[in-house]
Amino acid sequence: MAATTAVLFPCSPGEAIEAFGDGDGVRILAGGTLLVPELHLRGGAPEQVVALSGAGLDFVKEPCDGEIMARVGAMTPVDRLCTQPAPIGPAARGIGDGEIRAAATLGGNLCAPAGFGDLQAPLLALDASARSAGSDRERTESLEDFLAARDGRLLLEVSYVAPLEMGGGMHLRTTTDGRRVFDDSHYSRPAAGAFASLGRPHAHHFTVMSVSGVRTVGGEVRLAAVGVGPVGVRLRAAEALAHDPEAAGAAAAEEVNPSDDPLASGWYRRRTLPSLVRRVLSELEVGS
């Protein structure tokens, strides 16, 4: 057990970064939903645990007037994301049950092992950035890059261009011919989001697989899936064919490499993915 484990309680993001250091031998205690039962049932004593509950990483910052970015702290509990616009809201509502969602955090979910991580796909579809710390101190990168090399990193926050319904924005500029038009950044804002998942008849079931989608004001479509590999993935081949949902679904099945686990076989996931892609595209009102 953890009798010999040192537990640190940083009181600010800076102290958290300091306490985490290069991450060697350090485990993060966020909501505890994964770490506490693991240490209790599997034993083992990490050298050091950094408990983030007081580190000032629990925040949801919606854009103010003139801003377009939303920022969410890594320690934000999942239940605070349930009211976010699609695809985040419905993905968050599909995690665990009320008591789990009140404890589990965004950061814990994004850094969890395969089988969890339901919030990865919605944030990939939102083209989110991740700010993290570790051996090379702080860096901000795409969430996709972060997920590819998240070991040894302390996730601090994610940020993304906020969906229109979150408010903010409204930059206008004057064209040479004197018209008032939206600033280019407006066209990057998500105008619609959608989420479709497979297999959650009850709170005690895990979501087998889900697809998240975003359509921006400018018409760009981004798709991502979780449950088709160790971490969530962007479905770029499907995005390129978004105007043709049948083709997009087929392309999605081709570009992923799902494996078998107790929830479903890789074959089944690949077979089912196209229908989720089609549902998301239909909800986004893309294509015919």
Partner 1 sequence: MKITLNGADAQVDSPPLTPLLHVLREELGVLSAKAGCENGGCGACTVLIDGSPRRACLTAAIAADGSEVTTVEGLGTPEALSPVQKAFVHFCAAQCGFCTPGMVIAATAYLDKGGSGSREEITEALAGHVCRCTGYLKIVDAVAAAREGDFDMSVAAESPHTQVRA
Partner 2 sequence: MKAVGARLPRYDGVGHATGRTAFVDDIRAHGTLWAKALRSPHDYATITRLDTTAAENMPGVRAVITHADVPLLEYGHLSALGIPADEPLLAKDEVRYKGQPIALVAAETTEQAADAVAAIEVDFAPKTPLFDVRKAFDADVSQPHHWGTVYPHFEESMDRRQIRKGSIEKAFDDADKIISGVYRPAAIEQMPIETQVCLSVPEPDGRFTIYSCTQALYFSMGVVAAHMQIPLNRLKFVGGTVGGGFGGKVDTATETVCTLLAQRSGRPVKWRWTREEEFLCSSTRAPWHMEIIDAVTDDGWILGRKMLTLHDAGAYARFSPYGVTKHSFHHTGAYTIPNLHFDGYVVFTNRVPTTAMRGYGVTSVSFAVESHMSRVAEELGIDPFELRLKNANRIGDTSPNGIAYTDPSTVDVLHAISEATGNELAPGYAAASRQRRAGEWLPDHLLAQISDTEVH
Asked if 5 and 46 count as a contact pair (C-beta separation under 8 A), the reply is yes
| SS3 state at 237 | helix
C-alpha distances out from residue 12 to 58, 93, 106, 248, 255, Å: 11, 29, 18, 45, 41
> Does 39 sit near partner 1 (CB under 8 A)?
yes
Among 65, 177, 202, 262, binds partner 1 (CB under 8 A): 202
> Does 113 sit near partner 1 (CB under 8 A)?
no
Q: Which is nearer to partner 1, 178 or 262 (CB)?
A: 262
> Does 107 sit near partner 1 (CB under 8 A)?
no
Q: Which is nearer to partner 2, 41 or 201 (CB)?
A: 41
Q: Which is nearer to partner 1, 50 or 192 (CB)?
A: 50
| SS3 state at 182 | strand
Asked if 118 and 96 count as a contact pair (C-beta separation under 8 A), the reply is no
Q: Which is nearer to partner 1, 76 or 216 (CB)?
A: 76
CA dihedral 128, 106, 79, 27 (to 10 degrees): 180
> Does 41 sit near partner 2 (CB under 8 A)?
yes
> Does 201 sit near partner 2 (CB under 8 A)?
no
Residue 271 identity (one-letter amino acid)? R
> Does 263 sit near partner 1 (CB under 8 A)?
no
> Does 65 sit near partner 2 (CB under 8 A)?
no
Quick one: what does residue 43 bind among partner 1, partner 2, none, with the CB cut-off 5 to 8 Å set by partner type?
Answer: partner 2
Q: Which is nearer to partner 1, 5 or 140 (CB)?
A: 5
Peptide bond into 87 cis (omega under 30): yes
Q: What is the DSSP string of 91-148?
A: HHHTSS-HHHHHH-BHHHHHHSPBTB-TTHHHHHHTT-EEEEESTT--EEEEHHHHHH
Least CB distance to partner 2 at residue 1 (A): 6
C-alpha distances out from residue 112 to 103, 185, 188, 243, Å: 14, 33, 29, 33
Least CB distance to partner 2 at residue 202 (A): 14
> Does 43 sit near partner 2 (CB under 8 A)?
yes
Among 1, 151, 179, 202, binds partner 2 (CB under 8 A): 1
Q: How far apart are CA 84 and CA 178, in angstroms?
A: 37
Q: Is the dihedral of CA 147, 148, 150, 151 positive or negative?
A: positive
> Does 32 sit near partner 1 (CB under 8 A)?
yes
Q: How far apart are CA 281 and CA 221, in angstroms?
A: 9
Q: Total binding residues for partner 2 by CB under 8 A? A: 3
Least CB distance to partner 2 at residue 97 (A): 15
Interface residues with partner 2 (CB under 8 A)? 1, 41, 43
Interface residues with partner 1 (CB under 8 A)? 1-3, 5, 7, 29, 31-33, 35-37, 39-41, 49, 51, 53, 96-100, 102-103, 202-204
